[in-house]
Structure 1
Amino acid sequence: MFFKWVLAALHLLAFGFALAAVLARGRALRRLRTDDARSFRDVFVVDNIWGISAGILLITGVYRAFGGVEKGSFYYLHQPLFHLKITAFVAILALEVIPMIALIKWRIAFKKQIAIDTSRARRFARISHMEAALMVIIVIAATGMARGNMLS
């Protein structure tokens, strides 16, 4: 029982950190200045927090749904709101691919003190805000599931 509680708490806390971090990344990307090393560090720090919390969400979510600690995979696989959650999460992952690769390249260039092309920073900021909106959808779907699937 205690393990389920801790797992659920980690999962929910990860949502809070992930949402805050992805919104902060969007803001940091909008404020990014090529002549300011600190603004790059700000982007990298919140991007790290976003990545770690997304990883925790994925691990705890998969374990809760399919690890035999909650209601069981049959329950989740037959819940329309669970499908909405997974669809939104997959959309976040799809949106994240290009910014993630770009930010990895930026980190490498930053460490090597090579000029960084930040022309896509505003686009990545918009993507971050779209991801935040999708996270809100996930939370709404989760609360619906907790209340007994309001769509049935």
Structure 2
Amino acid sequence: MALPSDTHLSKPSEVLSDREAQFVALTPSLLVKLVEFDRLWAESSRLYDEARQAHPRPDPEIFGSAAQKGAAEAIGTTPEWQAYLASREPTDELDSQLDAVLLPFMDEPMVSFPAILLKCRIGMSLRQYQDDAVGDLERLAKEVLCA
């Protein structure tokens, strides 16, 4: 089955709402920040894996004794865990910056293909937004392919 041409992916007669136009206008700056977030996240993940391999932390829910909690805290002071924690600072900072920009838009249904694709790209990096993107994509698929 061939997909419809992009002219059919959004209704040509529809004009973007001001909010959707504002969202789409963020694309250039968001893409740069998302690429940087992905890089930071990959580095943090690598350091987390190294720290866990070097010094596995006991699960405090399974090992609830004070001795186990003390051991977990001591492990957290090792160089590997400290490197991981330090790598999370810029990652978390950028995550917070992106959230501040995105949160007002993500619960709003988008109708244009560029806006939905942008939501999907955001969801690839920031998993908390995947459901919003999938919801818009499913709605568009029903409107276009099931009409």
* TM-score normalised by length of structure 2: 0.36
* TM-score normalised by length of structure 1: 0.35
Of Structure 1 and Structure 2, the greater helix share is in 1
